[in-house]
């Protein structure tokens, strides 16, 4: 089976060490290590990880290079981020959240996963991001929490 290409924001990586989110975040990281998922990582995630605790900063470099795909924060990503901001999906102070969604969209990720239930994984936000994507000529993006990723023992395919 072809691995799913998943953009994970920083909350998922940090969730490995958060009691509330550890089980599903660890399951995701385990899936990346096993080659079931390709982790799409933008420069935004890398920058946010610089301020994370050492135990969180160690996760990304511990993953196999073949299971990690860098995502450039191009002018196109920034333009789409700005379209989200112009649509008032999130405020300017949360522009990095909008940039995560834009980067995942530009990378044509199978999904973006996040624990951010305020600015990303919320039905009204998902619909708004995808309305802008459609208006701007981009594909819609699947936005989910890590709990919704297929488990390693799931036999169903999409």
Q: Is 108 left (phi over 0), alpha (psi -120 to 50) or beta?
A: left
pLDDT values of the chain reduced to their tens digit, one per residue, 158 residues? 799 999 999 999 999 999 999 999 999 999 999 999 999 999 999 999 999 999 999 999 999 999 999 999 999 999 999 999 999 999 999 999 999 999 999 999 999 999 999 999 999 999 999 999 999 999 999 999 999 998 775 544 33
Task: Report the run of H or E that residue 7 belongs to, with start and end.
Answer: strand 4-8
Write down the pTM of the prediction: 0.93
Name all domains of the chain by residue range, CATH numbers in brackets.
Answer: 4-148 (3.40.50.1010)
- Give the pLDDT confidence score for residue 156 in this predicted structure: 41
Q: Look at the block and give the residue holding tokens 């909008």.
A: 98
Give the separation between CA 120 and CA 138, rounded to whole angstroms.
Answer: 18
- Give the pLDDT confidence score for residue 118 in this predicted structure: 95
24: its two tokens: 């599903």
- Give the pLDDT confidence score for residue 153 in this predicted structure: 58
């Amino acid at each position: 089976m072809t691995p799913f290409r998943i953009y994970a924001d920083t909350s998922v990586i940090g969730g490995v060490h958060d009691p509330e989110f550890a089980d599903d975040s660890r399951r995701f990281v385990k899936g990346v290590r096993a080659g079931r998922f390709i982790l799409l990582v933008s420069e935004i995630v890398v920058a946010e990880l610089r301020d994370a605790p050492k135990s969180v900063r160690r996760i990304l470099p511990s993953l196999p290079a073949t299971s990690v795909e860098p995502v450039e924060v191009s002018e196109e990503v920034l333009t789409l981020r700005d379209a989200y901001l112009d649509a008032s999906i999130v405020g300017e102070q949360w522009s990095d959240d909008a940039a995560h969604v834009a980067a995942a969209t530009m990378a044509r990720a199978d999904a973006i996963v996040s624990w951010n239930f305020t600015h990303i994984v919320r039905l009204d936000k998902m619909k708004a991001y995808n309305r802008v994507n459609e208006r701007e000529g981009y594909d819609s993006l699947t936005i989910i929490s890590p709990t919704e990723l297929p488990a390693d023992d799931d036999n169903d395919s999409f």
